[in-house]
Every structure is written in C-alpha cells, then in structure tokens.
Structure 1
C-alpha cells in the first residue's frame, strides 16, 4: 500500500558564532558545540516533547577524534535528550550540514517521523591537518593517472578552476573584499543576532602566585573571522599558497573554522499539535558529481537539478547561500549559471564568515531561515556548495 508524500517544514534554526581555527573555540569540543545548538533549537518550540524526535542527523566532514564515535548520538545525550532519541552522523564533506537537513526532511516526507533535527558540527582546531588525523590514501590513486585528482588539495583545484574559467586574481580579491564588507555590515546591523545562540566559553587558567586555578568566562556572540578593514591593497600583497604562479591566496579562500548549527523540522501534523507557524517548507535537495580536479564547479550541476525537480525558476530564488570555498570557484559558478550577484551571499560568505566544513551547510540554512523571517517577500531560498573529490550540492526552501 503506497503512502502519500507529506511536506516537511522548518520551524526553527540556530547556530553558534563561527570561530577561527585555534581561536575563541580552541578549547571547546565539537560535541559540546553540538549539544549547545541542540538544546537551543528545541527550546524555540514551547512544550516540545523531546521523545517525539525521530532522529538527530548530524553532518561532520572529519568524524574522528573528538568528533568521532558517532558524534550525533553523543551530542544529543550531552544535550540532555531522552535515551530514546537516536542519532546518526553523516559525511559528504562540505555539504554534510545541508545534507543532514535534507535527510531529516526526507524522513518526515516518507512518514517515518513527525519531528526531526538536521545539524552539523566541526572543529577544525582539533584536526591537525585538512585530511584528518591519519592520511591513508588508496595506493591506486597514485598508480593510475586518471585517479590523481582524488588526492589534489582543495587549493589546487581552485587554481585549476581559475585557469579553466578565466577568473583573474583581481576579480578574486575584489570578491573576497566584498565578502568581508557585507559580513561586517551585517554584524553591525545586527542581522545575525536572531540566528546565533551565543556560546559561553569557560577556561581554567592557573594563577601561579596564589597556586590556584581561575575560571575565566567569555561570551562569544559574533563570527570571529570578519575583517571590516579588508582592502584590495592588502589582499593584493598576499602570495599564492597553492601554486607558485597561481592566483589563489589565503585572502581569497575560505577560513578554517569551528562551529555548529541545528535545524528543527516538523510534519504538518506536528505543526498543528504544537501550534507552530513554520518558517519555510523543504522543497528539495540535489547532489551531482563533477571532475575531482575542478571540484569547485559542483553547484553548476546541482543547482539546475534541484530547481527542475521542484519546478522553480532560477530567477525566482531570492536568496542564495553559495559557500565561498574559494573566490575562484564561487565566481565561476555565478558567471556560468548567470546568478544574480545581488542575491548571492547578501551578508557575506565563508571567505569572511568562516567554513567549519561539515557544519557549514546547516549554518547557512540558519542564515537563510533568519532572512526569510525578516523578509516576507522572500519566497524561495537556496543553500549550495562544492564538495571535495568532485561534487556539488544544493538545497531549496520555500516560504509557506
């Protein structure tokens, strides 16, 4: 007997501030960041019975060490959720967070749950290098030329995108500066306030004179990587870091970061039960593969797919959170698809705000939901990004 697909609605979303790698959250565990946003997002629905949560799906790009051992389950237990609530950690690198939201929504659509959480957490501080604690590449990658690109560093793929799509160093730096300017203006205007749940960092510091240990507390309220004083002159002085004669620099690349986010979803039945007005409806998710050596173009394939499936015209998407892994790939995507630049990252992107890998997709969903709450004229919004080893993802959300 077939069942009718039901709609999945986003009713709440929140995130931590995003900290620089080895910055404000250098002593904060990723499972604690996750617990923090799980508690915060469920508190947004009055009287929510946590026993009703069908699953907690958590994205994490490097699920090992402090964020290993199925961090989803550990995080929800640390958050004080009932033992009956399950959790699963998923990994599709940079799209893990939005993939988690999509997976949670799909479970509701299939009638398997009425309440779900999609989330993401990542501490790049706890990872000694971009590829995790232990690099164990398959030897076949180096034995066959067609597999070489699997081992390419992300920066090298950005250089190849810049060359192939003719994105100049000047354009990359201008894009990076604009990201910082937009993010700084958004912080000054309080536009991130509603989506961020501040994090109280508690550190133990020894006082050798008194032979005691002091507890020092600091409330982190804003994203840490934004540079309001970023200038084209300063960016132009930075040397390429991935290719000797390249154009990709630390200044026009995303920042390594720490952060977490959580998104609460419900079925229509749950909306009525809790008398909740949803922010938006989940309208679809698409993922596509591209050549690994130019992984940054992934959204070029993923965006049209999700729009076609949802029956939505590109021009009708009023807000696009395009993850700025690198200015080179972001510009290649914008130009190739003919995206309206004014709709792309209106409050800045990962170059300014940071990119805590597996958490970023959920973080950007929180940003989009806050924008949809502020602007009643915003009908459709999207979160999209490129993915290491050659993929792209795009999630679509629609005002109810």
Structure 2
C-alpha cells in the first residue's frame, strides 16, 4: 500500500483548523482499512516529521487512537525534507535484516499549526564557521544562490513552475490522484458562525489551475535582498498540510497474505552538498543511488523530484540531462505543496500509482534536504 491524504494550503486551506494530532489520527483511521491486513501484524511504525516538538507523543497517541494495537511501536525520524523517505528506508532496512516482517512508514506535516521558523540562534563558534553558518540560512537564500551561480534565468524558473501547475491541474481534473488519495474526515469551523462540523477531504486544494507563464513573470521577488532575486511565490514550493503512508513487508509474507505487490524498495542514498547551494543535491543523490543498484538513468521510467524551488528543479533536470516527460509528470511541489515530513512518502505514493498506470518498471524519487543534503531512492514495480 502507498497512499496519501489530499493536500491543504497552509493557513488558508482545508486543514487550517485541524491540529497536528487530529490530522495524523484522522489520516491513520482512513489508512488502516486500506492495509488489507490485521493491524496486529504491524511490528513497527516510523513517522517522518520535521516541525513538531512533541512528534514522539503525537505519533504514538495517534496510532493507538486510530486503531493500531499497542504492540506496534512508533518512532519519529527527522531529516528535514526527506523525512518521509527516511521513515520508509528505516522500515525497509529493518525488514531486510530480519528484525521485523511488516512495518508502516508514515510522513506527515501540519504547517498550518507548526510553521517553519527556520534555524534557532546558535553558538558564536558555529556562526564563525562559514559552512556551518550557511546551513542555518533561510532556504530562499539557497534558491537564489543556485539561480545565480548556475545562470538559471527567471524565465526558465517560471516555465518549469507553469509546467508543474499545468500537469497537476490536468491530473486533478482527470481524476488521476484518486488512486493515491484516501479521504480523510476532519473537523471544520465555519468562519462566520464558528460552528464546527465534520467534513470529508478528498481533493487537493493547493493547485493553481490555469497558471500561465506571463502571469508568473509579473510576481515580485520573494527575496529582493538576495540577488538575483528570481524566486517568487509562484515558482517555489507551497507550504502545505498532509500525510502519506507506505506499507512494507517481506515478499514471502505478502504472498502468504495474498496481497498484491505494488513494488520493491531497492535502495536509498543520502548525500551532503555545500549548504549555500542546497538545491543541487538531487543531481548527486540520484547518480549515487543508481550506481549503488547498478543501473543507468536511461533505465528509469519515472522520476519524482521534489520541487523545493524552480531554480533547483531546472538545475537538476539540465545537469543530469533528464527527459522532462519522465519527471514529475503529474506536477510536483510547486503545484502540490511541500509538507516537509510528508513529501518523501507522498512522492512514493504518487510515483508508484503513475508507474502502475504506465506499466513501467523503475521509479526514482529524490529531494534536496535542508542544511545541505539530498536523498534518492529506487523502486521497482512488480509486473
């Protein structure tokens, strides 16, 4: 199983009145019936989350409330934007070593309730180290550095952003996302009366339909203080709320249970890059994981690369020479949003669903990671 919730715009969207514990509990309640197994078979739950100070408490309480038994332990992992993928990799590796047979990987973020306030103040010695200092800088600064250092134009950035929005809009309107989205029931507050009711959320509200390049080109820079000042609210990932989950187990166990196998997690690679140009990381993480598994990028049918900023999206596609018709074919984070802890698992749900539609074989997911890191993973679809 690889599924996600619909995604909601931070502060203004469908999850704006939903607290983090409520969102995770509601998502897990909707997900458990999709497991098609007795929840008692789950031997570990790993949750990727970035912003919640109390994530360990919330993960455990939400899992128990949603219907997972007390025998299924939980843990939280935080490697910034790759946290959902790290959760998946941890579960996969525990299965590989024989420590467990069945595990659930979850990624979630409620950015409406826990906005990203950036790095805390640090010791003078750290701030005197230029590279360490760079790792504490806002991500918008790193986007501008990528654009400036590698001569990426504003036009290129807005063209890629428009492509993301158009693809996501088409996928939304044609119902493609229905295969990966589980409807979630949440509380909603009427802004006029304050009355609280329960609603079911099943469609993304983050996509900006009918986006055009000329419109994006008119948007002012979000970071005029940092040249070349080309990053805008139109060509960067949106902050959003959402969750995703992936069920993993040994092939032999899946066959015993009569389950359809969606695909195989083959390997994950994590790399470090200069923090000031954080966004270039997928251009290093992708070759690293492909080398690890012994295949060439031409063997890959689909890429899901997190669109943190259009500058990094353009850089990665151009540097690796990727076919844009294989990359984020249903849009990426510029259109769908980037709920930090959720994205790594969300990309797997989106990618495997599309791989199944195309009857393809190999999926690669990747993302740049805050503070100067990157991650990538290879999945192979079962025919």
Same fold (TM over 0.5): yes
| 2:35–2:247 contact (8 Å) kept in structure 1 | no
| 1:161–1:328 contact (8 Å) kept in structure 2 | yes
**Aligned counterparts, 1:1-400, within 5 A:** 12-22=1-11, 23-46=13-36, 48-64=37-53, 68-131=55-118, 135-205=120-190, 214-244=195-225, 245=227, 246-376=229-359, 378-400=360-382
Tell me the CA shift for residue 399 of structure 1.
1.5
Tell me the CA shift for residue 218 of structure 1.
3.1
Return closer, same or farther for 1:131/1:206 CA change in 2, 3 Å cut-off: closer
Q: Deviations over 1:300-344 (max 9, x none)?
A: 111111111111221111111100000000110111111111100
Quote the Cα distance in structure 1 between the aligned partners of 2:184 and 2:381.
29
Q: Deviations over 1:134-178 (max 9, x none)?
A: x34333332233432022110000000011111100000111111
Quote the Cα distance in structure 2 between the aligned partners of 1:301 and 1:33.
34
Q: Secondary structure at the match of 1:386?
A: strand
Return closer, same or farther for 1:302/1:206 CA change in 2, 3 Å cut-off: closer
| 1:114–1:269 contact (8 Å) kept in structure 2 | no
Where has structure 1 moved over 4 Å in runs of 4 or more?
204-208
Greater mean deviation of Cα atoms: 35-44 or 254-263? 35-44
Quote the Cα distance in structure 1 between the aligned partners of 2:160 and 2:191.
44
Q: Secondary structure at the match of 1:116?
A: strand
Tell me the CA shift for residue 222 of structure 1.
1.4
| 1:156–1:243 contact (8 Å) kept in structure 2 | no
Quote the Cα distance in structure 2 between the aligned partners of 1:355 and 1:282.
22
TM-score by length of 2: 0.94
Tell me the CA shift for residue 236 of structure 1.
1.1
TM-score by length of 1: 0.90
Quote the Cα distance in structure 1 between the aligned partners of 2:35 and 2:75.
23
Quote the Cα distance in structure 2 between the aligned partners of 1:140 and 1:39.
47
Aligned residues between the structures: 379
Tell me the CA shift for residue 204 of structure 1.
4.8
Tell me the CA shift for residue 369 of structure 1.
1.8
Tell me the CA shift for residue 282 of structure 1.
0.6
Q: Extract unaligned runs of 5+ from structure 1.
A: 1-11
| 2:24–2:62 contact (8 Å) kept in structure 1 | yes
| 1:14–1:37 contact (8 Å) kept in structure 2 | no
Residue aligning to 1:7: none
Quote the Cα distance in structure 2 between the aligned partners of 1:263 and 1:340.
27
| 2:51–2:115 contact (8 Å) kept in structure 1 | no
Quote the Cα distance in structure 1 between the aligned partners of 2:262 and 2:46.
20
Tell me the CA shift for residue 31 of structure 1.
2.8
Q: Secondary structure at the match of 1:89?
A: strand
| 2:30–2:184 contact (8 Å) kept in structure 1 | no
Quote the Cα distance in structure 2 between the aligned partners of 1:394 and 1:70.
29
The RMSD of aligned alpha carbons is 1.8
Quote the Cα distance in structure 2 between the aligned partners of 1:130 and 1:234.
29
Quote the Cα distance in structure 1 between the aligned partners of 2:97 and 2:209.
45
Return closer, same or farther for 1:173/1:367 CA change in 2, 3 Å cut-off: same
Tell me the CA shift for residue 61 of structure 1.
1.2
Quote the Cα distance in structure 1 between the aligned partners of 2:56 and 2:215.
42
| 1:175–1:327 contact (8 Å) kept in structure 2 | yes
